[in-house]
Amino acid sequence: MEGQIKGPAIFLAQFSSDGAPFDSLAGITSWASELGYKGVQIPTFDKRIFDLDKAAESASYCDEVKGICTDSGVQITELSTHLQGQLVAVNPAYDIAFDAFAPAECHRNPEKRQAWAVDQMMKAAVVSERLGLSNTVSFSGSLAFPFLYPWPQRPEGLIEEAFSELGRRWKPILDHYADHGQKIAFEIHPGEDVFDGATWEMFLDACDQHEAARINYDPSHFLLQQMDYVAFIDLYHDRISAFHVKDAEFNPDGRQGVYSGYQPWVNRAGRFRSLGDGQVDFEAIFSKLTQYGYDGWAVLEWECCLKSPTQGAAEGAPFIKRHLIETTEKAFDDFAGSVRDDGAIREMLGL
């Protein structure tokens, strides 16, 4: 057993706004530090707190960003390219909705929007390297997700072609990340084509098992699918390089289940909740990740349909801190051990 989980850290995307202290990097990192966070995951799609294009052009701007975080008493855990990654692959059914993630000049122009997204992804690899990081977090995008439920019957080859195309789009990006010593930890998430273990394996196959392709582990999405989110770690721990600490609950009844009947979040059977308010077994998760030597950050991603973000953020840091495990360097029963005696060993075995 090696390594120890770092934290607490916080993903800033859900907290940035037009009002102080959430409208600048200095303000929001100082706020996070005052709450007890040691790390911040920075969204690259919110220029109020971080300008990816400027960072790609200017090493001095990257130094300025690092200095601001240092002065606030926090480290940068990862850069997030969730929205840009989403736009690497978009089924036409989602074109209008996902245009909101891209600049206005890309709207109603899927090819231009995709080219912009790929360029953003490439820039993030360079910038992450400049910041002294080695890991980013993102989404895979979706071509096949509108065909999730096989009715009407899916034509033969549709899913295979969707994942082949994902591989064709992502492999050059992953190659670029590897060239810069970076990884992309994909958040496995309904709405993406990569939403569970089976689809993750299909994606890896399409990307030729690329070493730069990793997992941003978020148990909330697995609980809402009724997956065994602890066993997921047993299966894929060697690919987990990021960890979103987010809670959820699933309360099916006679009216709705996993699909939750198109209801608003507050009325859904499956809901995201603030840390400690849901059903995720974080003791088991932190133990399992520690068992496999995960030594990355534990990053709060706050999403809740009931509690305010300020209360959720304030409660999140101590919650994560309580779950961090200081790994042991000795066996608990060492006191009962004895010096090795090969002769005694053979005698005990009747040899």
pLDDT reported for residue 338: 75
Quick one: tokens of 49? 């707190």
> pLDDT, tens digit, for every residue of 55-84?
999 999 999 999 999 999 999 999 999 999
Confidence label for 325 from pLDDT (cuts 50, 70 and 90) = very high
Report the distance separating Cα 206 and Cα 216, nearest Å: 19
pTM score, whole prediction: 0.95
pLDDT reported for residue 252: 98
**pLDDT higher than 80, residue 3:** no
Q: Which domains does the chain have, with CATH numbers?
A: 6-348 (3.20.20.150)
**Coil, strand, or helix at residue 207?**
coil
Least trusted range by pLDDT, from 38-52, 123-137, 162-176, 332-346: 332-346
> pLDDT, tens digit, for every residue of 92-103?
999 999 999 999
Report the distance separating Cα 79 and Cα 46, nearest Å: 12
pLDDT reported for residue 70: 98
Report the distance separating Cα 143 and Cα 231, nearest Å: 28
**Beta bridge pairs of residue 273:** 247
pLDDT reported for residue 298: 98
Q: What is the mean pLDDT of the chain?
A: 96
Average pLDDT over residues 109-120: 98
pLDDT reported for residue 228: 98
Report the distance separating Cα 274 and Cα 250, nearest Å: 14
> pLDDT, tens digit, for every residue of 270-321?
999 999 999 999 999 999 999 999 999 999 999 999 999 999 999 999 999 9
Q: Which residues contact 160 (CB under 8 A, 6 or more apart)?
A: none
Q: Quick one: what percent of the chain has pLDDT higher than 90?
A: 95
**pLDDT higher than 70, residue 2:** no
Confidence label for 333 from pLDDT (cuts 50, 70 and 90) = low
Give how far Cα 93 sits from Cα of 108, 139, 165, 325, 332, Å.
Answer: 12, 18, 17, 45, 57
**pLDDT higher than 70, residue 336:** no
Report the distance separating Cα 157 and Cα 120, nearest Å: 31
**pLDDT higher than 70, residue 335:** no
H helices within 87-189, ranges in order?
95-98, 110-130, 158-179
* DSSP string of 292-307, one letter each residue: TT--SEEEE----SSS
pLDDT reported for residue 1: 47
